[in-house]
Structure 1
Amino acid sequence: MVRNEHEMIIKLKSDLLDIIDIENGFFVSDDLLKNMLNAIKSLINAEEATLFSLNNCKNQLLIEASTSEKLEQTNCPQISIDALEVEAIQSNSLLFKLPGFEAYDLTMILMNNDSLLGILAIKGREEEADPFSHSILEAICQQIAKFLNNIRILAKTDSEEKRYKQLFRVTEKFHSSMNMDDVLGEIIHTLQEVYPTFTYYLLLSHDNNRLEDLPIKDLEYDSENIAALQAYVTGTVQLEDSVQKKRSVLYAPLKGKQGVYGVLQVIAPNTLVFPNNEVEFITLLANTAGSALENAQLYQQSKRLITDLKLINETSHRLNSNLRLAETMAYMTEQISHSFEAEEVGFILYVKDNQQIDVLKGSTEFFHKNAAEAYIQFTKEKIEKEQESLFIGDFQLIADTNVKQYKSIMAIPMTQSGVLKGFVLVMSEAPYHFSFETFKLLQSLIHHSTLAITNSMLREELEKMVVTDHLTKLYSRNYLDEKIHLSMNEDHEGTFILVDIDNFKSINDTFGHQVGDDVIIQVAGLINDNIRGTDIGARWGGEELAIYLPGVSLMAGVNIAERLLEKVREYSNPRVTISCGVSHWNRGKKDTYAALFKRADKALYVAKQTGKNKVIVQESDIVIDKT
C-alpha cells in the first residue's frame, strides 16, 4: 500500500510537471488550474474538484476554477477567512466536514508559510470509502499547495515580463513620436492592454479638447481632486482608498525634467489596497509618458517658435520693400487674419494731436462702418489710460444690441520713438479664441512692423509734399501734366476743367492778401470735396485752379463743374464766384495735351468776358455756354 501511495505522489508530481510546458512558454493561468484539477480528479477518482480563492476586498471565497461547468459564484460558501487560517494552522489542512462546505466530501486548505492560498473541495470521496490514508491525502494537499504557489509565482513573473516588454515597446513608441496626441493615445492603449478591468483617466493641465475619443479630463482645482492636485503639485504618487466604494485609486504624475504635465488616474475595482507591484509599473509608465509629453511639447513649441519667427521675418522683409501704404496695410491684414484666424483686423491711426482717429485703408470692411466706432473708442480710451496692450477673452460691449458682438479682442499700440502713433485692433466673435502665445506673437509682429508702417506713411507724405501745392494742398501743375499725358495714353476719354476765381484782385484790395489766400484755400477744399479719389485737383497758377477727370465724359464733367459753381457761390466766405472752361478728349479723335489745354483756356476766357460765374465748353472751334 505504501508503495502504491508513494507511486501516487510520484505520478501526481509528474502530471503537475507535464502541465507546464517549459519549451513553449507558460499556459494561461485558467488552463493551468483546470488541468491541475483534472489531474487530481483522475488521481483520486473523484466526481468533481473545485478551487476556491480569497477575494481581499470582499473578504470571502470565490470560485477560481472547477472541473464542473455548472458552478456559479452564488454557490460559494459563506465562511470567515480568519477562521479558515486558524483551522489550518491549529488543526489540520485536511478536513472532511468543514463548516460551509457541507456539499463537499473532502476539503483541503491550501497554505504557504501560514498564508492561505485557497481551498480545494472534492466531491465523490467519502471518508469511510476512501482507500487512501490521511498521510497520502496530506501529501497530495502539500503538493497541490506547492504547485499552486509556484504557478502563481510563475504567472506573476510572466505577467511582469509581459508588462515590462510592453513598457519597453511603449518607451520606443514614445521616443519615436513628437506628437502629443500620439503620446496620449499610446498611454491609454497600453493601460487598456495591461489593465482591462481597471478604469483610468488622464487629468491634464493643458487644453486637449481635440482628443474626444480618449478618457481625458481637465485638471480642476477644487476640493474633490485633492489627491490629484497633490500628485500634480508634489510630483509624487498619491493613493486614495475607499472602503465604502470598495476601490483603490492611484494618482501618478506625468512628470518631465522641467515640470509636471498632468496626472494619470487609475481606479482598481474590488480592492481596498492598490497592489504594490502595480504601483511600481504604473509609476514607471507615468514617468516615461511624462518625459515623452515634455519632449513632444518642447518640439511643438520649437516648431511654433520657428513658424512665428518666419512670420515676423517675412512680414518685416515685405514691409521694407517700399510698398504703398494701402498695400502695406492690406498685406498686414491678410497675414494677421490668416495666421491668427482673426475675423476683423483694423489699423487705427491718430491724427491732429491724437484728437481724431483715421482707419487706414487695408483694414477689414467692418472698421469702415459706424458699428466699429464703439470698439475703436473703447480701445482708444483703454490704451491711452493704461499705456499697455489689451488681451480680452470675453468682452462685453455695452452698446446697441444690433451691433455685432466680438468677444475676443487683442489691441496692440503702435509706438515709434516713444510716441503713440495708433493701435492695431484684432477681433473674433468666439470667446477665448486667441491664446496668450498668439497675443505675444502679435505684440512682437506689430513692434517689428511699426517702423516700416511709419516709414511708409512718411514716404507717402513726402511724395505728396513734392507734388502738392503748399497753400491749397492740391496737386502741383507738373503732377497734373504727367497724369494727363498718362491718361491720354491709357484711358478712352477724359475731361479737363480750368477754374478761375472771379474778381480776385478786388478781394485782395478789399480784404487783404491773407483773406485772398484763404479764399483760394476754400475753393481748393470744395474741389477736393466734389471729385473722386482718382480725379486730380491742381493749382494752375495764382487764383487759377484746374481739375482733370480721367475716363469721364463731357456731360458728366460739365455737371461736376456746374455743381462746383453752386458750392463756391453758396459756401465761400467772403462770398465769391468762379468761372469754368471745359474741354474734352476721346480716343476716337486725334488730340494732344496742348490742344486740350488750349480749348479749356479759350472757354475760360469766353466765360470771363461774357459775365463770369458760368461754365463754358469749347469743342473744336465751337463754344457752348452751359449756364
Structure 2
Amino acid sequence: MDILECNDLHLQINRYKQLILIIEKLHSYLDVNILLGEFCLALKEVYPDFSFSLLLSQDTYSHSDLPIIDLEYDSENIAAIKAYATGDLQFEFSSSDKHTIIYAPVKGKQVTYGVLQLIAVDTTEFPANDMEFLSLLAESLGSSIENAHLYQQSKREIANLQLINETSHCLNSNLRLVDTMTYMSEQIITSIDAQEVGFFLFLNEHAKVKILPGSTPYFYTKQAQIYIDYIKEKIELDKNPLFIGDSNLQNIKSKTSFHSILAVPMIQSEKLKGFSIVMHKEPYFFSFDTFKLLQSLIHHSSLALTNSMLREELEQMVITDHLTQLHSRKFLDDKIKWSMKESDEGTFILIDIDNFKELNDTYGHQVGDKVLVQVANLIKRNIRGEDIGARWGGEELAIYLPGVPLDRGAAIAERLVKKVSECSDPHITVSCGVSYWNKEQLDAYNYLFKRADEALYIAKGTGKNKVVIQKDNIRVS
C-alpha cells in the first residue's frame, strides 16, 4: 500500500469516526428543534465548502435561523421528490454552473421525513465514499427525528392516560351533576387548550337539547345557537364524532366565528344521550391526537353523567310528590326544622280542598287528582323560589315561607284562596290555616303545625273558603 492509499484510508477512518460521534450526539437529543440545529452545525463542519438545505415534508418545527424549507411536490423538484418517494440517493448535475446536487432521503424505520439537499460547487463527480457517508448521515438524522417523535408521543400518551385515569377516578366519586360537568369542562380546557366547551342533553325524543352545567358562558348566547343546531343535526344523523378543521358556517360574523370544532356524541347503553362541542377560533387548531383524547374523555364521562342524572332524579323522586310535583312531607319537615334554627321568623300555611270527598264521589278520582294538580300549580305560581310548597297528605297541601312575617304570609294565603275560587275547573274552594314563629319566642315545629291545624279546623267549621290565622289567639280573616 502506497502513501496515497494510506492517507485516503486514514481520512476515511477519521470520517467514519466523525460520523459515529455525530450519530451519538444526534441520538442524545429528544427535542426535534434542537436536533435539527445540531445536525446543521455538524454538516457545516463536515462540508464547509458546500451549501445545503433540509426539505421536510411535515414542517412543524421552529427554525427560522436554519436552512429548512417545505418539501414541495412540483415538477421543478423531481429529483428531491424521487429521493423522498424511493428512499434512494438522487443526483442532479449542471454543466453550465459546474455543480452537483445530491438528494439524500431523511428516513426512519416508519416514514421518510424529508430530503437532505447538498450542493457541491465546482464538482462534477462526487466520491463514492462521500456518497455513502452522506447517505448514512441523512439516515441517522431520520432515525434521530423518529426517536424524538416516538419519545414525545410516548410522553403525550402517558400524560393522556394519566389524565383519563384521574378523570375517571374523580367522575366515579359520586359527584353531583353540576360538579361532574364543571370538572369535565375544566379538564378539557386545560388538556387541549379549548376556548369554548359545551355539553348538551337531548330532550323530548331529540326535539330539543338542554345545555348542561359546566358549559362555558358562550353557549348560552344567541350566536352559539347556530353551532349547536348544526352539530345537533350532524350527531343525530349518524351518531359519529366530528372533526372540523376549518368550518365556514353561514350567518356567523367573522369576529365571533369559530373555525376549529370537535364534537363527540355521549352514548350510554347504545343510546344517544347528548353530545359535547369543543371550539377554537383558529383554523386547524386541534390535532387528531387531541380529537382522540377528547373522545376518550367523553366516553369515560358518559357513564358518570348518566349516574349523576339518575341519582339526582332518584333524590328528586324522594323529595317530590309524584302527582302534584310539590315537595314531600318529609322534605318540608326537614326544611322547617333547619329554618327554625337558622332564620329569624317564618310563616306556615296549611291548605285543605273543601268538600273533596263529594268531588271524588261526583266526578271520580281522576277529576279529584286533576283538581289537586290545579291547586298545586297555583301554589307554585304564587310563591318564591326559596319558599316551599308541599303535599301534606290526601287533599291537604302546605306552604312554608321562611323569613316571611305573619301579615305577608296571611296575604299570600288570602290571594291563594281567591285564585282557587276564580280559576279552578270544576269549581272548588280551599280553606287555609296560618301559623307563625319568630326567634324571640320559644317554639318548636310540632307546635307550629298544631296551631295551623287548629286554625284550619276552625276555617272548615265556620263556612270554608277562608283563611284563619292562629297566633296566640285564633283570628278569623
What is the TM-score normalised by the length of structure 2?
0.85
Question: Is the CA contact 2:359–2:368 (under 8 Å) kept in the aligned structure 1?
Answer: yes
Equivalent in the alignment of 2:93:
241
Structure 2 spans left out of the alignment, 5+ residues = none
SS in 1 for 2:321: coil
What amino acid does structure 2 have at the position aligned with 1:171? I
Taking the TM superposition and a 5 Å limit, the aligned residue runs for 1:186-335 are: 186-243=38-95, 247-269=99-121, 271=123, 276-335=128-187
Taking the TM superposition and a 5 Å limit, the aligned residue runs for 1:306-385 are: 306-385=158-237
Deviation at 1:624, TM superposition (A): 8.9
Report the Cα distance in structure 1 between the residues aligned to 2:245 and 2:394, rounded to whole angstroms: 58
Equivalent in the alignment of 2:449:
597
SS in 1 for 2:223: helix
SS in 1 for 2:330: helix
Question: Is the CA contact 1:580–1:604 (under 8 Å) kept in the aligned structure 2?
Answer: yes
Deviation at 1:536, TM superposition (A): 3.6
Deviation at 1:490, TM superposition (A): 4.0
Taking the TM superposition and a 5 Å limit, the aligned residue runs for 1:439-588 are: 439-491=291-343, 493-501=345-353, 504-505=356-357, 507-508=359-360, 511-528=363-380, 535-550=387-402, 573-574=425-426, 583-587=435-439
Equivalent in the alignment of 2:280:
428
Deviation at 1:403, TM superposition (A): 8.8
Structure 1 spans left out of the alignment, 5+ residues = 1-148
Question: Is the CA contact 1:246–1:269 (under 8 Å) kept in the aligned structure 2?
Answer: yes
Report the Cα distance in structure 1 between the residues aligned to 2:38 and 2:415, rounded to whole angstroms: 77
Report the Cα distance in structure 2 between the residues aligned to 1:214 and 1:396, rounded to whole angstroms: 36
Report the Cα distance in structure 2 between the residues aligned to 1:441 and 1:484, rounded to whole angstroms: 48
* Cα pair distance change 1:414/1:198, threshold 3 Å: same
Deviation at 1:433, TM superposition (A): 1.5
Deviation at 1:362, TM superposition (A): 2.2
What amino acid does structure 2 have at the position aligned with 1:418? E
Report the Cα distance in structure 1 between the residues aligned to 2:470 and 2:256, rounded to whole angstroms: 53
* Cα pair distance change 1:436/1:375, threshold 3 Å: same
SS in 2 for 1:480: helix
* Cα pair distance change 1:401/1:501, threshold 3 Å: farther
What amino acid does structure 2 have at the position aligned with 1:214? L
When the two chains are superposed, the root-mean-square deviation of aligned CA atoms in Å is 3.7
Report the Cα distance in structure 2 between the residues aligned to 1:199 and 1:612, rounded to whole angstroms: 105
Deviation at 1:461, TM superposition (A): 1.6
Report the Cα distance in structure 2 between the residues aligned to 1:177 and 1:429, rounded to whole angstroms: 34
Report the Cα distance in structure 2 between the residues aligned to 1:560 and 1:214, rounded to whole angstroms: 80
Report the Cα distance in structure 2 between the residues aligned to 1:616 and 1:442, rounded to whole angstroms: 61
* Cα pair distance change 1:297/1:521, threshold 3 Å: same
What amino acid does structure 2 have at the position aligned with 1:354? H
Question: Is the CA contact 1:498–1:544 (under 8 Å) kept in the aligned structure 2?
Answer: yes
Deviations 1:378-433 (A, max 9, x none): 11211111221111111122235399322111111111221111112222222111
Equivalent in the alignment of 2:242:
390
Figure out how many residues of one structure are paired with residues of the other and give that number: 476
Deviations 1:36-78 (A, max 9, x none): xxxxxxxxxxxxxxxxxxxxxxxxxxxxxxxxxxxxxxxxxxx
What amino acid does structure 1 have at the position aligned with 2:200? I
Deviation at 1:512, TM superposition (A): 3.3
Sequence identity (%): 59
Report the Cα distance in structure 2 between the residues aligned to 1:546 and 1:287, rounded to whole angstroms: 83
Deviation at 1:288, TM superposition (A): 0.9
Question: Is the CA contact 2:223–2:252 (under 8 Å) kept in the aligned structure 1?
Answer: no
Q: Does 1:167 align with 2:19?
A: yes
Question: Is the CA contact 2:327–2:390 (under 8 Å) kept in the aligned structure 1?
Answer: yes
Question: Is the CA contact 1:535–1:548 (under 8 Å) kept in the aligned structure 2?
Answer: yes
Deviation at 1:475, TM superposition (A): 2.2
Deviation at 1:513, TM superposition (A): 2.4
Deviation at 1:527, TM superposition (A): 4.2
Report the Cα distance in structure 1 between the residues aligned to 2:63 and 2:382, rounded to whole angstroms: 60
Deviation at 1:494, TM superposition (A): 4.7
Equivalent in the alignment of 1:42:
none
Equivalent in the alignment of 1:185:
37
Deviation at 1:481, TM superposition (A): 1.1
Greater RCO (Cα-Cα under 8 Å, separation 6 or more): 2
Deviations 1:262-312 (A, max 9, x none): 222333445555565543333222111111111111111111111111111
Q: Does 1:176 align with 2:28?
A: yes
Deviations 1:197-253 (A, max 9, x none): 544333333352444443333334343443333222222222233456665433222
Question: Is the CA contact 1:166–1:190 (under 8 Å) kept in the aligned structure 2?
Answer: no
What amino acid does structure 2 have at the position aligned with 1:433? F
Deviation at 1:350, TM superposition (A): 1.7
* Cα pair distance change 1:400/1:169, threshold 3 Å: closer
Report the Cα distance in structure 2 between the residues aligned to 1:243 and 1:613, rounded to whole angstroms: 114
What is the TM-score normalised by the length of structure 1?
0.66
Report the Cα distance in structure 2 between the residues aligned to 1:402 and 1:544, rounded to whole angstroms: 59
SS in 1 for 2:199: strand
Deviation at 1:373, TM superposition (A): 2.5
Equivalent in the alignment of 1:87:
none
Deviation at 1:583, TM superposition (A): 4.8
Deviations 1:572-602 (A, max 9, x none): 5556565555555455554322233345445
Deviation at 1:511, TM superposition (A): 4.0
Question: Is the CA contact 2:435–2:448 (under 8 Å) kept in the aligned structure 1?
Answer: yes
* Cα pair distance change 1:445/1:571, threshold 3 Å: farther
What amino acid does structure 2 have at the position aligned with 1:326? V
What amino acid does structure 2 have at the position aligned with 1:340? I
Report the Cα distance in structure 1 between the residues aligned to 2:90 and 2:405, rounded to whole angstroms: 86
SS in 2 for 1:370: coil
Report the Cα distance in structure 2 between the residues aligned to 1:521 and 1:161, rounded to whole angstroms: 98
Question: Is the CA contact 1:319–1:328 (under 8 Å) kept in the aligned structure 2?
Answer: yes
